[in-house]
Amino acid sequence: MVNAYRLKGKLLLFVGGMDHYVDPSSTLQVVNALITANKDFSLLEVSNGDNGVGIAYAYVQRKLEDFFVRYMLHELPPDWNRDPGKWFKPGRGPRSNTDNHSSDNLAWSYS
């Protein structure tokens, strides 16, 4: 944290609010150091996320890919809210689950 002032470029931090391996306060200490150093960064808190963000995997993966598209390809990512069906198909992808009666098992993947 003492080196936060040295940050150059873009930074994206994820924190799972229910992480049992890395206390979320550790990430927030880094956030505080970045703010104190007046550095720009992006932060995504997944309130019910565990280590690896749990059920929000597809959302977090999309945010990560959007970050890379924006800052490495210098392009705008798709407007996901405008037409999500155009980009995703339910029930496919890395978090697919055959148990369809729980909203926790929603999975989305790129088409």
Q: How confident is the model at residue 103 (pLDDT cuts 50, 70, 90)?
A: very low
At 85 the pLDDT is 66
Distances (CA, A) of 5 to 2, 26, 28, 68, 71: 8, 17, 16, 23, 20
At 104 the pLDDT is 38
Mean of per-residue pLDDT scores for the chain? 76
**84: part of which helix (H) or strand (E)?**
helix 84-87
The per-residue pLDDT for range 45-98, each reduced to its tens digit, is 887 776 766 667 788 888 999 999 999 999 999 888 887 666 665 554 444 444
At 87 the pLDDT is 60
